[in-house]
Amino acid sequence: MTHPPIISTVRALQAESDRLRAEGKRIALVPTMGALHEGHLSLVREARARADVVFLSIFVNPTQFNDPRDFDAYPATLERDLKRAAEHGVDVVFAPDVAEIYSEGAQTWVDVSDLSEPLCGASRPNHFRGVTTVVSKLFLAARPHVAVFGEKDFQQLVVIRRMQRDLGFGIEVVAAPIVRERDGVAMSSRNVRLRPEARKQARALVQALNAAEKALAAGQRDRDALLAQVEAILTAPSLARLDYAELRDPDSLEPAPERLRDPTLLAVAVDFGVEGGQAGESVRLIDNRVLVPPRKD
């Protein structure tokens, strides 16, 4: 099976988008950093259902990594990615190099201020500045009608939707559900870096989400009590270091009230030590769930 056409420059992608738009085609964009797994492919399927043409970008964005080691270790599987893209009906792959996206001496950034500060933003300074800047560049290059993002990166989704509204790109930002492994662990390109014991312990994230959901259904409404239960589960694995476990409003990302009454985002992040790795080396996993308190009759 031949792979989709590969475009490597912004100008060429804009020209292709303009041509398709002139033909009345609806374009969907699926931004990725490659190392495609079933979670990414679910985004492609969602894009295919919403558009005539699907663009898939593959670009490992250096400006959203706080640790150079994390950037260097990010898996690069372009040939495999192209094959999977072809199998799932991607029409065009945009695979630029860093110099194409960031010109020499670049000084312009897109920063969604308040929404970028909590959760992942608290421990990863400027991470979301890198995300929103590169997504803006991808929007300008692809000129899509719709862009599809996964709910696993929930804060990213909220930030990008705010950016889209504020800057008026005129793009529909669509959320696709989290895709999970058989044991419940959220699919992530980072999972392949986990050694067997850490991969086993990673189940603690989904176990914590399940426990919180069960407690809420049983009548628990106390924010701090729920978080204490979640943190106990997340800190039990020997290789785990808790970054955060927080309950927040799913739209504003403001902290949840002491008593939960409305749908509430439970977001968690855990660093797992790499067995046999260098000192301080870890794999960071995130997960989330919007908890919905049962309505009283």
Instruction: Map out the domains of the chain as residue ranges.
Output: 6-176, 189-291
**Could you tell me which of 133, 166, 130, 171 has the C-alpha nearest to residue 149?**
171
Beta bridge partners of 23: none
- Indicate the SS3 state at residue 208: helix
Q: Please tell me which residue in 3, 37, 40, 145 is annotated as part of the active site.
A: 40
What phi and psi values does residue 39 have, to the nearest 5 degrees? -60, -45
pLDDT at 297: 41
Radius of gyration for the alpha carbons in the chain, expressed in angstroms and rounded:
20
Q: Amino acid identity, residue 95?
A: A
Tell me if 86 sits within 8 A of 2, measured CB to CB: yes
pLDDT at 275: 53
Using CA atoms, how far residue 144 sits from 19, 131, 169, in Å, is 12, 18, 9
7-29 confidence digits (pLDDT tens): 999 999 999 999 999 999 999 99
Confidence class for position 280, pLDDT limits 50, 70, 90: low
Tell me if 137 sits within 8 A of 111, measured CB to CB: no
d(CA 259, CA 20): 51
Can you give the pTM of this predicted structure? 0.95
d(CA 271, CA 273): 7
Locate 156 and state its tokens.
């990213």
Tell me if 250 sits within 8 A of 214, measured CB to CB: no
37 is catalytic: no
32-52 confidence digits (pLDDT tens): 999 999 999 999 999 999 999
151-177 confidence digits (pLDDT tens): 999 999 999 999 999 999 999 999 999
User: Domain spanning 189-291 has what CATH number?
Assistant: 3.30.1300.10
pLDDT at 109: 98
- Indicate the SS3 state at residue 148: strand
Fold of 6-176: Rossmann fold (3.40.50)
47-102 confidence digits (pLDDT tens): 999 999 999 999 999 999 988 888 988 888 999 999 999 999 999 999 999 999 99
d(CA 71, CA 247): 29
